[in-house]
Amino acid sequence: MALHHHHEHGGTALTDAAQAALVNAGEQWTDMRADIFAVLATYEKPASAYDIADQVSQKRGKRVAPNSVYRILDLFVATNLARRVESANAYVANSHPGCLHDCIFLICDTCGTATHLDDDRLSGSVRAAAEGAGFAQVRPVIEVRGKCADCD
């Protein structure tokens, strides 16, 4: 099924969806996790763990160590609440936590924003190529660096 109806979420709906997905995975939705997700979801670009640590520290009036942020980001990535952007060493919130996709990120070298594509046909081809080469447990990383329409 290449065409697919996405329940794109934003704001409260996104937070609710994230919470539901995390609980559904047997994990707890704690204050710390909520805070980190909130920062990630409102950040305009892919956020580094240190960016998030700073924001959350401010919000809480108390230093939160990057360490703690990494733990939670790892959990988010594992449960599909967030994605890591490999070529930027940074993370973005997944706007439809319920759906599993190999997603494609377009990252602007100028302004740093990332836009998100889903193209199951394309990612499927990448998967197939890797599997054809004998790879198993395949996780595609498909990103495109370039200059976005706004920065041309």
Partner DNA sequence: TCAGAAATGATATATTGTAACCTCAACCGA
Partner DNA sequence: TCGGTTGAGGTTACAATATATCATTTCTGA
Give the C-alpha separation, 24 to 79, whole Å: 10
Q: Which stretch binds DNA (CB under 7 A): 12-20, 43-51, 94-102, 139-147?
A: 43-51
- List the single partner that 72 binds among its own copies, DNA, none, CB under 5 to 8 Å by kind: DNA
Alpha helices of 25-80 — where are they, by DSSP H? Answer: 31-42, 49-60, 66-78
Instruction: Report the residue number, 70 or 127, with the smaller CB distance to DNA.
Output: 70
Q: Does 78 bind its own copies (CB under 8 A)?
A: no
- 82 forms beta bridges with 93
Residue closest to 114 by CA, chosen among 93, 140, 141? 93
Q: Does 103 bind its own copies (CB under 8 A)?
A: no
Phi-psi region of 61 (alpha: psi -120 to 50; beta: other; left: phi over 0): left
Q: Does 106 bind its own copies (CB under 8 A)?
A: yes
Q: Which residues bind its own copies (CB under 8 A)?
A: 86-87, 104, 106, 108-109, 115, 117, 119, 122, 125-127, 129-130, 133-149, 152
